[in-house]
């Protein structure tokens, strides 16, 4: 176990700390490559045609209105939902085929925890399943600012605390790729600033970070690249700077609203 | 698989609900067997000890519900998402639950039936009622209790994977055990089959206690255990296929 993690020791705190060293990506090529994903639930077309690329060392914002298909796309990327068509590969392979998925990619999709179990035990269960030592749980609780509530039952956590716990779970295997669905949900302004700094540090260390959001002002401050989807289709993918340069004087919000505008009379 | 078994064991031991359920059930079984052995008059022709020990069958119902809870809880509390992210192959996930819960059920069934036996025999002796249970007979009841409880947990895991909605799964199990089987058991012809092959009859037969009604013709102990194994296998295989196929949207 330890032999395969050479160069990554020192525990999550040391690794994610201010002095986190840059490291080369585990594989050449993009961190995430999504090609033509499509999913219908019954008669509802949730995702029609979504394609984009996420690079190592950068934070990619995945933007779109409610119901645009963001969450379905993210869940298809990690094998929770089976796509009707298209592929998603992470570090060159479909997520379920990765040799050690928890080390290759971490995802925050549900701020979920059993209400009767403590935050610490929640992480210890997941760490055991990933073959990681239990003390990782304590280090991660420290990292996400939950050390004080480690032995409180998760049922008493606020949404922000559950979100931090879920982020700790995503970081368990110290993955090269992070996929975060609305990670700022429930966080207060201090929490949002903290999250932004953490994600910046992780990306600066060579990791790929994909975050879905509809907080545009926040995204504009955090992300390097932008992917916009609307009604199940990719409508834009570009570095943030390039996107802003297409319309001098316009904000990300202006451009986003234009890209995701719904036709007259169509339900949004 | 070792990782998953460690995770499941930790999950089982760190969830208060399971401990409360086990402690409450043990207390209930001990209290009810003590009261019954102390106060009841027994139908001639039935073994008094076996009549009282049928009460310990409650452990099986609880194990069945615990199995259901362990799977449906993952969906209800959405912990299936991080679990399936760390272990994308879902069949091993279910297998680890099966092994952990069935082992816990075995221990739980053994303990509760042994406690019930230890309470029943002296109380009957004190009332000078012949227990009509040899020591090898008592051993068979206790072993049967352990096996039936482990198999009940296994069936619960399968049912939970089939009916992922927690409330629906619990209602389905309770309705089957306490409404459908007792009522259908009174229908001529069909009733005999229900008494023999329903979960209630199989439970009584596997533990070699008295069924409902007491006149029911039960299967032999090994045959009943085998039928339970069959039910568990069908439930688990169906559950595994569905778990693999269905999307986890929570």
pLDDT in tens, A161-217: 999 999 999 999 999 999 999 999 889 999 999 999 999 999 999 999 999 988 888
- Those residues of chain B whose CB sits closer than 8 Å to some CB in chain A are 3-4, 6-7, 10-11, 14-17, 73, 77-79, 81-89, 245, 247-250
Residues of A in contact with B73 (CB under 8 A): 114
- Per-residue model confidence (pLDDT) at position B141: 95
Query: Cβ–Cβ of A81/B248 closer than 8 Å?
Result: yes
- Per-residue model confidence (pLDDT) at position A263: 62
Pair of tokens at residue B159: 């049912």
Of the candidates A75, A113, A173, which has its C-beta nearest B249's C-beta? A75
Residue A236 backbone dihedrals phi, psi, to 5 degrees: -160, 145
Of the candidates A81, A95, A96, which has its C-beta nearest B247's C-beta? A81
Whether residue B40 is predicted with pLDDT greater than 90 in this model: the reply is: no
- Work out the number of other CB atoms within 10 angstroms of the CB of residue A246: 10
- To which residue do tokens 């090529």 refer? A29
| B60 half-sphere exposure, CB direction, 13 A CA radius | 28
- Per-residue model confidence (pLDDT) at position B115: 97
Measuring CA to CA, which residue among A4, A6, A92, A85 is closest to residue A50? A85
Whether residue A4 is predicted with pLDDT greater than 60 in this model: the reply is: no
- Per-residue model confidence (pLDDT) at position B213: 79
Q: Which of A31-40, A245-254, B24-33 has the lowest mean pLDDT?
A: A245-254
- CA B25, CA A28: separation in Å to the nearest integer? 57
- Per-residue model confidence (pLDDT) at position B224: 96
Is pLDDT larger for residue B141 or for residue A263? Answer: B141
Whether residue B54 is predicted with pLDDT greater than 70 in this model: the reply is: yes
Whether residue A10 is predicted with pLDDT greater than 80 in this model: the reply is: no
Ranges of H-type helices in B58-127 = 58-76, 80-86, 90-126
- CA B192, CA B204: separation in Å to the nearest integer? 14
- CA B150, CA B102: separation in Å to the nearest integer? 4
Is pLDDT larger for residue A3 or for residue B185? Answer: B185
- CA B14, CA B201: separation in Å to the nearest integer? 34
Kindly write down the DSSP assignment for every residue of chain A, as one continuous string. Answer: -GGGGTT--SHHHHHHSTTPPP---SSSS-SEEEEEEEEEETTEEEEEEEEEEE-TTSEEEEE--TTSSHHHHHHHHTTSS--SEEEEEETTB-GGG-SSHHHHEEEE------TTSBHHHHHHHHHHHTT--THHHHHHHHHTT-GGGTTSBGGG--HHHHHHHHHHHHHTT--SEEEEESTTTT--HHHHHHHHHHHHHHHHTT-EEEEEES-HHHHHHH-SEEEEEETTEEEEEEEHHHHHHTSTT--HHHHHHHHTPPPTTS--
- Per-residue model confidence (pLDDT) at position A20: 47
Is pLDDT larger for residue B208 or for residue A28? Answer: B208
Over residues B155-192, the pLDDT tens digits come to 999 999 999 999 999 999 999 999 999 899 888 888 88
Exposed/middle/buried for residue B247 (C-beta within 10 Å: 0-12, 13-18, 19+): middle
Chosen for mutation from A37, A120, A126 (greatest number of chain B CBs closer than 10 Å) is: A126
Supply the ipTM of this predicted assembly.
0.89
**DSSP 8-state secondary structure symbol assigned to residue B220:** P
Pair of tokens at residue A156: 């008493």
- Work out the number of other CB atoms within 10 angstroms of the CB of residue B30: 17
- CA A140, CA A149: separation in Å to the nearest integer? 12
Of the candidates A110, A128, A172, which has its C-beta nearest B81's C-beta? A110
Distance in Å, alpha carbon of A29 to nearest chain B alpha carbon: 23
Whether residue B132 is predicted with pLDDT greater than 90 in this model: the reply is: no
Portion of chain B with pLDDT greater than 90, in percent:
81
- Per-residue model confidence (pLDDT) at position A1: 36
Computed over every residue of chain A, the mean pLDDT equals 87
- Per-residue model confidence (pLDDT) at position A27: 58
- Per-residue model confidence (pLDDT) at position B210: 87
Instruction: Return the sign of the alpha-carbon dihedral for residues B16, B22, B25, B27.
Output: negative
Distance in Å, alpha carbon of B53 to nearest chain A alpha carbon: 33
- Per-residue model confidence (pLDDT) at position A264: 55
Over residues A210-260, the pLDDT tens digits come to 999 888 888 888 999 999 999 999 999 999 999 999 888 888 999 999 898
pLDDT band at A2 (very low <50, low <70, confident <90, very high): very low
Of the candidates B73, B83, B88, which has its C-beta nearest A96's C-beta? B88
Over residues B111-130, the pLDDT tens digits come to 999 999 999 999 999 999 88
Whether residue A29 is predicted with pLDDT greater than 90 in this model: the reply is: no
- Per-residue model confidence (pLDDT) at position B185: 86
The pTM for the full model equals 0.89
For residue B18, what is the nearest residue in chain A, using CA coordinates?
Answer: A116
- CA B34, CA B235: separation in Å to the nearest integer? 35
**DSSP 8-state secondary structure symbol assigned to residue B217:** -
Mean pLDDT across A119-143: 93
Residues of B in contact with A175 (CB under 8 A): none
Computed over every residue of chain B, the mean pLDDT equals 93
Whether residue A43 is predicted with pLDDT greater than 60 in this model: the reply is: yes
- Per-residue model confidence (pLDDT) at position A110: 87
Query: Cβ–Cβ of A101/B4 closer than 8 Å?
Result: no
Measuring CA to CA, which residue among A133, A83, A140 is closest to residue A108? A140
Measuring CA to CA, which residue among A93, A98, A80, A108 is closest to residue A32? A93
Whether residue B50 is predicted with pLDDT greater than 70 in this model: the reply is: yes
Using an 8 Å Cβ cutoff, are B39 and B129 in contact? no
For residue B1, what is the nearest residue in chain A, using CA coordinates?
Answer: A129
Query: Cβ–Cβ of B249/A130 closer than 8 Å?
Result: no
Mean pLDDT across A106-130: 93
Pair of tokens at residue A103: 């080390």
For residue B86, what is the nearest residue in chain A, using CA coordinates?
Answer: A102
Note if the bond before B213 is cis, omega within 30 degrees: yes
- CA A199, CA B248: separation in Å to the nearest integer? 27
Helix (H) or strand (E) holding B155: helix B135-162
- Per-residue model confidence (pLDDT) at position A19: 37
Distance in Å, alpha carbon of B240 to nearest chain A alpha carbon: 15
Distance in Å, alpha carbon of A110 to nearest chain B alpha carbon: 7
Residues of A in contact with B81 (CB under 8 A): 80, 109-110, 112
Portion of chain B with pLDDT greater than 70, in percent:
100
| B240 half-sphere exposure, CB direction, 13 A CA radius | 17
Whether residue A6 is predicted with pLDDT greater than 50 in this model: the reply is: no
Helix (H) or strand (E) holding B11: helix B2-13
- To which residue do tokens 């499941």 refer? B8
Whether residue B101 is predicted with pLDDT greater than 50 in this model: the reply is: yes
Using an 8 Å Cβ cutoff, are B236 and B101 in contact? no
- To which residue do tokens 């910046």 refer? A200
Query: Cβ–Cβ of B81/A128 closer than 8 Å?
Result: no
Chain A, chain B: beta-carbon pairs less than 8 Å apart: 89
């Amino acid at each position: 176990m330890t032999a395969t993690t050479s160069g990554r020791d020192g525990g999550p705190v040391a690794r994610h700390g201010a002095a986190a060293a840059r490291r080369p990506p585990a594989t050449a090529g993009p961190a995430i490559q999504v090609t033509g994903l499509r999913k219908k639930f019954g008669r509802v077309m949730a995702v029609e045609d979504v394609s984009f690329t996420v690079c190592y060392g950068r934070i990619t914002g995945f933007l779109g209105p409610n119901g645009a298909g963001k969450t379905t796309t993210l869940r298809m990327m990690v094998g929770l939902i089976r796509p009707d068509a298209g592929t998603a590969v992470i570090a060159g392979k479909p997520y379920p085929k990765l040799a050690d998925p928890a080390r290759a990619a971490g995802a925050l999709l549900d701020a979920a925890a059993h209400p009767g179990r403590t935050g610490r035990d929640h992480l210890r269960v997941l760490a055991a399943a990933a073959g990681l030592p239990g003390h990782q749980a304590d280090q991660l609780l420290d990292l996400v600012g939950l050390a004080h509530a480690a032995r409180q039952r998760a049922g008493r956590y606020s949404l922000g605390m559950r979100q931090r716990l879920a982020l700790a779970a995503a970081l368990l295997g110290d993955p090269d790729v992070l996929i975060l669905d609305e990670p700022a949900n429930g966080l207060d302004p201090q929490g949002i600033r903290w999250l932004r700094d953490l994600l910046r540090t992780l990306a600066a260390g060579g990791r790929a970070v994909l975050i879905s959001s509809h907080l545009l002002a926040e995204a504009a401050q955090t992300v390097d690249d932008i992917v916009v989807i609307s009604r199940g289709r990719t409508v834009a993918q570009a570095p943030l700077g390039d996107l802003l340069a297409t319309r001098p004087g316009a904000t990300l919000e202006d451009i986003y609203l234009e890209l995701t505008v719904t036709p007259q009379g169509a339900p949004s | 698989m070792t990782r998953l078994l460690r995770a499941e064991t930790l999950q089982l031991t760190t969830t208060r609900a399971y401990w409360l359920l086990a402690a409450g059930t043990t207390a209930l079984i001990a209290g009810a067997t003590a009261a019954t052995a102390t106060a009841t008059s027994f139908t001639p022709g039935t073994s008094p000890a076996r009549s009282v020990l049928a009460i310990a069958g409650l452990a099986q119902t609880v194990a069945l519900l615990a199995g259901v809870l362990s799977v449906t809880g993952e969906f209800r509390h959405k912990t299936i998402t991080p679990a399936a992210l760390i272990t994308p192959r879902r069949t091993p996930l279910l297998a680890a639950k099966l092994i952990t819960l069935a082992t816990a059920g075995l221990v739980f069934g053994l303990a509760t039936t042994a406690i019930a036996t230890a309470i029943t025999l002296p109380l009957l002796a004190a009332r000078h009622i012949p227990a009509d249970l040899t020591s090898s007979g008592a051993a068979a009841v206790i072993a049967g209790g352990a096996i039936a409880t482990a198999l009940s947990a296994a069936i619960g895991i399968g049912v939970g994977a089939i009916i992922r909605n927690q409330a629906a799964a619990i209602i389905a199990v309770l309705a089957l055990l306490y409404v459908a089987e007792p009522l259908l058991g009174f229908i001529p012809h069909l009733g005999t089959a229900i008494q023999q092959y329903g979960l209630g009859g199989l439970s009584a037969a596997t533990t070699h206690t008295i069924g409902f009604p007491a006149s029911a013709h039960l299967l032999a102990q090994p045959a009943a255990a085998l039928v339970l194994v069959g039910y568990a296998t069908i439930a688990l295989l169906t559950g595994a296929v569905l778990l693999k196929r269905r999307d986890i949207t929570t």
